[in-house]
Structure 1
Amino acid sequence: MSNRRSFLKLSAGLAAGGLAAGLSSTANASECVADIKWHEEVDLLVIGSGFAGQSVAVNANREGLGKVLVLEKMQVIGGNSAINGGWFAVPKNPVQLAQGINDDSPAELVKDQMIAARGMGNEQMLTKIANEALNAYNMCLDAGVKFKKDFNIQVGGHNKARAVRVEHGTGGDIVTKLYEAGVREGVDYRLQYKVEDFIMNGNEIEGVVVRRGYRFPDESTGELINIRANKGVVLATGGFTRNMELRAAVDPSLDPSLDCTNHLGATGEATLTAMAHGALPVHMNMIQTGHWGSPDEGGFGWSNALLSIGWHKGIAVNPTTGTRIMDERADRLTCSTAIMACRHKDGSPAYPLVFFNKNDHLGDARVTRAVRDEMAWEMDSLEQMADKFNVPLAQLKATVKQWNDYVAKSEDPDFNRKMDTAVKLKAPFVVSRVWPKVHYCMGGLKTDIDGRVVNARTMKPIKSLYAAGEVIGGVHGHARLSSCACLEGLAMGFILPKSIKADA
């Protein structure tokens, strides 16, 4: 795994050969850049091929910005976006309007996001992103992305149903179609190209040093080449949740034993490289956990899909007490905190149980798949559930009875949960265990609201260096709401090309 130390070591070696020009003074940098041997020249270089990278590339090409090249260090397109759950927040989407929800707006979405941000969100930037939601949604439709028919629901932390979902429940539905659109329209994509360093001319990025033919995670593979970018470099490289050394450095309180939903290449080298060249990092310690994680499957998994039922139709119970633990429809930070408070006396995790009525979801692929893969179980009674998971039976029965009373009255005095999707619980049940997984970095590089990366010394943009998606820090504050990563990445594809065009 690459980290800042190995990067600096590499930079020292490159500097000896005249490549790491950005580490020199401005005068020396100009002189070194003039001597650089450029192996290739493009107009716009996009690093990363997830939602943000794909959207920026396609829209930059449509804006007539010239030759657009997308580099991906892994062996497949898509990064974390390809394995995400495919949820997409779109105020005023057609399904929402057909459902009779006419009082939503981008401003309403931003209001929810700012509540979740707990005073630390960037309202101006969130507004700019939310205003591009419909454009991003229509871009997906035009590219051939299929969304679940008549599907639009309210997800955690949102006050309205505004989340659509792709047909197969994975972000790969979006990145593959945008990739195909980009190929048809002339965007150039390269796999196994790992960026090793930036080539700077003072406060301006001229190009990048790339390891061509890189085979993750072997740092000895490939050959170094220099690619010049005449109009700019866009960082769309995602977060750093798989960089354990960096995670521990910025948030020592984060349990290192937690599983992670992200792909193995989410290690943040490009973020560290930008920081070494003066980019300002913000909110690096704000690392989000996904409260829908299952301890019974690795990585992102299918628990996200199953819990889209559980949070709405069921309840979450502490197995050591048999009592509910939270508003099951709250935001991720609230839910993760409540879940991780469930412990045995020795401090080990007491995985909360989430259960709902089996007969209400017969034949649902989310259920059959989860049961097949043994990350959920079908239980014929509360007695069977209590016996399997060692839950106090009397209290479990009392909790279910109390819950059913709350449903009848349409109120939850314990956690003030919104009850419009709540149903009375009756056997048989589908039961799963939950435990959060490290999921998303709210921290990253500071940009202006148009995506220009900010220099830490001057607090002004680094010329020709841009960022999009998760690599940007300070947007969501303490908690990003579900379905908003897809929105942010795709929407930035409409914002950045305009910035680049104006600057060029």
Structure 2
Amino acid sequence: MQSRRKFLKLGAGAAIGGLAVASLPKTAAAHPSDETAWDETVDVIVIGSGFAGLSAALNAKRKKLGSILVLEKMQVIGGNSAINGGWFAVPKNPIQLSQGILDDSPEELVNDQMIAGRGMANKEILTKVANRALDAYQMCIDAGVEFRKDFNIQVGGHNKARAIRTKHGTGGDITTKLYEAGRREGVEYRLQHYIEDFVRVGDKIEGVVVRRGYRFPDQGTGELVRIKANKAVICASGGFARDMKLRAVVDPSLDPTLDCTNHLGATGEVMLSAAANGALPIHLNMIQTGHWGSPDEGGFGWSNALLSIGWHEGISVSVLSGKRYMDERTDRLTASTAIMNNRYSDGSPAYPLVFFNYNDHPDDDRVVRALRDEMAWKVDSLEQLASKFNVPLDALKKTVKEYNEHVAQGTDPDFGRKMDTAKVLKAPFVVSRIWPKVHYCMGGLKTDADGRVLDARTMSPIKNFYAAGEVTGGVHGQTRLSSCSCLETLTMGFIISEAIKANA
């Protein structure tokens, strides 16, 4: 029996993440199997409306799993997915094939991911995800998502060009279209619904306790109701990068002054409630930073888009030495570590610079926006660059001269960078400062390859309970490659809906 006392005990166990425990509705003391204990019953509850939640809901509906209800705590649809960069890794995508890249495969993508994961990634899950990449791509196309024409590039840590990007360079291009598709097909979405707790009976999650009418971030708003799920509860609530208390607990080494790319609602209380109900959390101390962050803008910003030029065509130099200090196209963990090694003697950040040729992109929206918002600057010479940012001029000139020679030779003897997209540097330049930002939680709820959440006590799946996206852990290991979050979250919608169908 799931009593009121039990609910409060479980809620208190989640308080470490800043989750406030509130009084439960009068029906909470009733036996959960008694239909009078529930305020409402649906077939599938999806928690969260980012890529993972939207894909899971749409695919569940298409699998004819009955009534599908998406609960979003914020006032808008999309979560972090709506503000991400819109990058999507798809082996064998049509643009890649039109570029003559015919030897890519899901297996090659997984191999790149396993290398980035440093021995901690889950090959079974990554393989299952990679094999459904084209399905997820087609789902987006069918929903009306537009991708940039002829745009497919090789991003950090990948061995081939397989990353496409949405037309406007934002995940909102995908979230809006999947939401609209779900609405057309009968998925119900409710905003301002905060998950207070799960209702677990034995080895099964039967439903959720929801704060309806919640107004972020006020825990005292709304009213508590209980919603039963006949077939499944799918947790797609995202990460906890904005929960400073939890971040400090799980990774005390993480610099608390680092900015964060996530929206303010990325606070992880749903994951903690699931853990209090027996779900197994893993890898919580593995918090990824985005190496493309700019100290000259807050949050996600334009730097991610601008650096999609800089990392490929330009170079990054230390303001301390005027020299390059890393392979500009390496994975996020390696790059972030190298960037944050640039510090003054007092330990304060010595923000490195990234620059590339202005005349190659004068009308590019990424450049226009960055210059407009002053998170990048146009400089007419290396002398002006060195003066503006206090860089040793002679060392800078030598670095650029050697780099241009390496571009001509097509090799990088200093750092082993792949030089196929590198360009000889010629003034004027677009230059920006960089510093990592907290970006992605590698840890979360442990699932099997079908998205079933595992019980910490039995290591077997909790019945009716699934999870997808950043709320999960143990998928990517120590670092996730760029463009693979969109891939994972969208494909898991197919995988989980099929698992629910099989179970049902």
| TM-score bin (small chain) | over 0.9
In structure 2, do the counterparts of structure 1 residues 226 and 291 end up closer, same or farther at CA, with 3 Å as the change threshold?
same
Matches within 5 A, 1:22-171: 31-34=31-34, 37-171=37-171
Amino acid corresponding to residue 338 of structure 1 in structure 2: A
Q: Which string of whole-angstrom CA distances, capped at 9 and with x for unpartnered residues, describes residues 210-252 of structure 1?
A: 0000000011110000101000100000100000000000000
Question: Would the aligned equivalents of 1:7 and 1:196 in 2 still touch at CA under 8 Å?
Answer: no
Q: Deviations over 1:307-330 (max 9, x none)?
A: 000000000000011000100000
Which letter maps to 1:80?
Answer: N
Give the one of 19, 23, 29 matched to 2:28.
19
Distance 2:63 2:35 in 1: 32
Q: What secondary structure is seen at the aligned counterpart in 2 of 1:367?
A: helix
- Going from structure 1 to structure 2, the CA distance change for 1:375 and 1:10 (only over 3 Å counts) comes to closer
Residue 474 of structure 1 and its aligned partner are, at CA, apart by 0.3
Instruction: Give the corresponding residue for 2:255.
Output: 255
The aligned residue for residue 309 of structure 2 is 309
CA distance 1:480–1:114, change in 2 (3 Å): same
Matched, 1:216 2:216: yes
1:500 aligns to what?
500
Please name the residue that 2:15 is paired with: 5
Match of 1:326 in 2: 326
Distance 1:12 1:78 in 2: 27
Following superposition, the deviation at residue 423 of structure 1 comes to 1.0
> What is the alpha-carbon distance in structure 2 between the residues aligned to residue 234 and residue 18 of structure 1?
23
Distance (whole Å) between structure 2 residues aligned to residue 134 and residue 347 of structure 1 = 46
The one-letter code matched in structure 2 to 1:58 is L
> What SS does the aligned partner of 1:19 have?
helix
1:353 aligns with 2:353: yes
The 5 Å alignment of 1:227-266 reads 227-266=227-266
Residue equivalent to 2:7: none
Residue 393 (structure 1) aligned with residue 393 (structure 2) = yes
Length-normalised TM-score, structure 1: 0.96
SS in 1 for 2:88: strand
Question: How many angstroms apart in 1 are the aligned matches of 2:21 and 2:460?
Answer: 24
| Aligned 8 A contact 1:33 1:200 in 2 | no
Q: Give the secondary structure class of the aligned counterpart of 2:473.
A: coil
Q: Confirm whether residue 294 of structure 1 aligns to residue 272 of structure 2.
A: no
Question: How far apart are the structure 1 equivalents of 2:420 and 2:16?
Answer: 53
Q: Which residue of 2 aligns with 1:179?
A: 179
Consecutive aligned runs of 4 or more in structure 1 exceeding 4 Å deviation: 6-13
Indicate the SS of the match to 1:225.
strand
SS in 1 for 2:34: helix
- Match of 2:301, SS? coil
Shift of 1:203: 1.5
Partners of 1:33 and 1:199 within 8 A in 2: no
Conserved? CA contact 2:83–2:172, under 8 Å: yes
Residue of structure 1 in register with 2:405 after alignment = 405
User: Given residue 270 of structure 1, which amino acid in structure 2 is its aligned partner?
Assistant: V
Give yes or no for contact 1:20–1:197 (8 Å, CA) kept in 2.
Answer: no
Distance 1:243 1:353 in 2: 30
Q: Say if 2:358 and 2:427, in contact at 8 Å, map to a contact too.
A: yes
Q: CA RMSD in A?
A: 1.6
CA contact (8 A) 2:20 2:219 kept: no
Amino acid at match of 1:241: A
Matched-pair contact (CA < 8 Å) for 2:17–2:245: no
Distance 2:32 2:115 in 1: 48
Aligned residue for 1:439, secondary structure, equals: strand
Contact 1:89 1:483 in 2 (8 A): yes
Specify the alignment match of 1:340 in structure 2: 340
Residue by residue over 1:10-64, the C-alpha shift from the partner in whole angstroms, topping out at 9 and shown as x without a partner, is: 658449x66389xxxxxxxxx4543752111100000000000000000100000
CA displacement 1:126-159 (0-9 Å, x = unmatched): 0000001000000000000000001000000000
Distance 1:236 1:265 in 2: 13
The 8 Å contact of residues 11 and 197 in structure 1, kept in 2 or not, is answered as: no
Query: Residue 19 of structure 1 contacts residue 199 of structure 1 at CA under 8 Å; is this kept in 2?
Result: no
**Amino acid in structure 1 at the alignment position of 2:341:** A
Amino acid across the alignment from 2:38: W
| Partner AA of 2:94 in structure 1 | P
Q: What do the CA deviations read for 1:334-370 (whole angstroms, capped 9, x no partner)?
A: 1000000000111100000000011111211110110
Corresponding residue number in structure 2 for 1:28: none
C-alpha distance in 1 between matches for 2:18 and 2:146: 44
Q: Which secondary structure does the structure 2 equivalent of 1:489 belong to?
A: helix
Once residues 343 and 319 of structure 2 are traced to their aligned partners in structure 1, the CA distance between those partners, rounded to angstroms, is 9
Match of 2:368 in 1: 368
CA gap 1:69/1:9 in 2 versus in 1, 3 angstroms: closer
Alignment match, 2:6? none
Cα 1:307–1:9 shift into 2, 3 Å: closer
Structure 1 residue aligned with 2:484: 484
Q: Distance in 2 between matches of 1:93 and 1:115?
A: 22
1:350 maps to amino acid: A
CA–CA distance in 1 between the matches of 2:392 and 2:442?
38
Q: 1:384 to 1:200 in 2, by over 3 A?
A: same
Distance 1:9 1:76, change over 3 A: closer
Q: What is the CA distance between 1:471 and its match in structure 2?
A: 0.8
**Deviation, structure 1 residue 442:** 0.6
Query: SS of the residue aligned with 1:350?
Result: coil
| 2:380 corresponding residue in structure 1 | 380
- Determine what percentage of the aligned residue pairs are the same residue: 71
SS at match of 1:232: strand
- Distance apart, 1:405 and its partner CA: 1.1
Post-superposition Cα deviations, 1:93-131, rounded to whole Å, max 9, x if no partner, equal 000000000000100100000000011100010000000
The 3 A distance-change label for structure 1 pair 188 and 334 is same
User: 1:18, 1:32 within 8 Å by CA — same for their partners in 2?
Assistant: no
- Partner Cα separation in structure 2 for residue 171 and residue 9 of structure 1: 28
Q: CA deviation at 1:298?
A: 0.3
- Contact 1:116-1:157 at 8 Å conserved across structures: yes
In structure 2, stretches of 5+ residues that fail to align are: 1-11
* CA contact 1:195–1:270 (8 Å) conserved in 2: yes
* Paired residue secondary structure (2:142): helix
| Matched-pair contact (CA < 8 Å) for 1:236–1:468 | yes
The separation in 1 between residues aligned to 2:125 and 2:418, in whole angstroms, is 29
Is the contact between residue 239 and residue 440 of structure 1 (CA under 8 Å) also seen in structure 2?
A: yes
**Given the superposition, is the C-alpha separation of residues 11 and 203 from structure 1 closer, same or farther in structure 2, using an over 3 Å criterion?**
farther
CA separation in 2, counterparts of 1:20 and 1:471?
29
Letter in 2 for 1:402: E
> Residue 4 of structure 1: CA displacement?
2.5
